[in-house]
């Protein structure tokens, strides 16, 4: 079972930052999950929230700001902003940090706050992934299945995964329409029948966000292919794969 670090090793340092990505790689994870938002100047910034206020201390919507405007600000909580000096990554920067050393799971974010003139998003995303040689080791996931379908049409070589939290009666219809490589149900909606049906269709199952050891064990026994967790060090230890040199001290 793959261990995928949620927002990088976000529990150990600033979430979604270069430090978080490097820390996750040091831990020996199989994958790293980060969030990407389109920016006003047709770039992508690696942040979880549409509003940058929580991590920067200043309000503003990602889709109304340029990448440079966002990167001018330090990110993290008040103390981490002061002492660590991390700044939001661009998509290209995140790809270069990971550089194929683990799978990179990119959650493409879209909300009502996104600019209506965002027809460029999927084309630009496919372009960046292909230019950086990341199509083999990155996977784009989203709750917006229309975006995933558009991405598949533009660049069939780019791997996609369906985030899903709706009625399971429509799941397999969506799978037929989209032909993803993976489905990503919430842990509470993951069960042996779902895993069996997904595997019969050649799909991987990644469950999120899994932080309790008992739940990690249950999902492993179900045959889940990967778990997305805020506690990658604990998950690796539970699977007997912790690196003895890794330190889990929070920064």
Predicted confidence (pLDDT) at residue 251 exceeds the cutoff of 50:
no
**pLDDT attached to residue 132:** 98
Copy the structure tokens of residue 1. 């079972």
Domains of the chain: 2-238 (3.20.20.190)
pLDDT digits 0-9 by tens, 13-65: 999 999 999 999 999 999 999 999 999 999 999 999 999 999 999 999 999 99
Percent of the chain scored above 90 by pLDDT? Answer: 84
CB 205 within 8 A of CB 183: yes
Q: What is the pLDDT of residues 102-160, one digit of tens each?
A: 999 999 997 654 555 678 999 999 999 999 999 999 999 999 999 999 999 999 999 99
pLDDT tens column, 205-222: 999 999 999 999 999 999
pTM of the model: 0.93
The pLDDT value given to residue 111: 62
How far apart are alpha carbons 215 and 224 in whole angstroms?
11
């Amino acid at each position: 079972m793959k261990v995928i670090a949620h927002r990088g090793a976000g529990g150990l340092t600033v979430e979604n930052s270069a430090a978080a990505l490097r820390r996750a790689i040091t831990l020996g994870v199989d994958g790293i999950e980060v969030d990407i938002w389109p920016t006003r100047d047709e770039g992508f910034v690696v942040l979880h929230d549409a509003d940058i206020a929580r991590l920067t201390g200043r309000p503003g919507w990602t889709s109304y700001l340029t990448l440079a405007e966002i990167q001018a600000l330090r990110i993290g909580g008040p103390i981490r902003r002061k002492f660590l000096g991390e700044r939001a990554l661009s998509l290209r920067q995140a790809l270069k940090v990971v550089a194929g050393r683990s799978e990179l799971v990119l959650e493409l974010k879209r909300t009502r706050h996104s600019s209506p003139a965002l027809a460029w998003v999927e084309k630009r995303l496919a372009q960046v992934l292909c230019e950086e040689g990341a199509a083999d080791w990155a996977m784009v996931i989203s709750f917006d299945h229309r975006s995933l379908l558009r991405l598949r049409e533009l660049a069939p070589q780019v791997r996609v995964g369906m985030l899903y939290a709706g009625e399971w009666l429509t799941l397999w219809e969506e799978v037929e329409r989209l032909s993803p490589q993976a489905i990503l149900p919430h842990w509470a909606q993951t069960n042996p029948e779902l895993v069996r049906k997904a595997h019969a269709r050649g799909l991987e199952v990644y469950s999120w966000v899994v932080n309790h050891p008992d739940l990690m064990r249950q999902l492993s026994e179900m045959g889940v292919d990967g778990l997305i967790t805020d506690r990658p060090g604990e998950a690796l230890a539970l699977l007997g794969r912790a690196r003895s040199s890794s330190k889990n001290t929070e920064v």
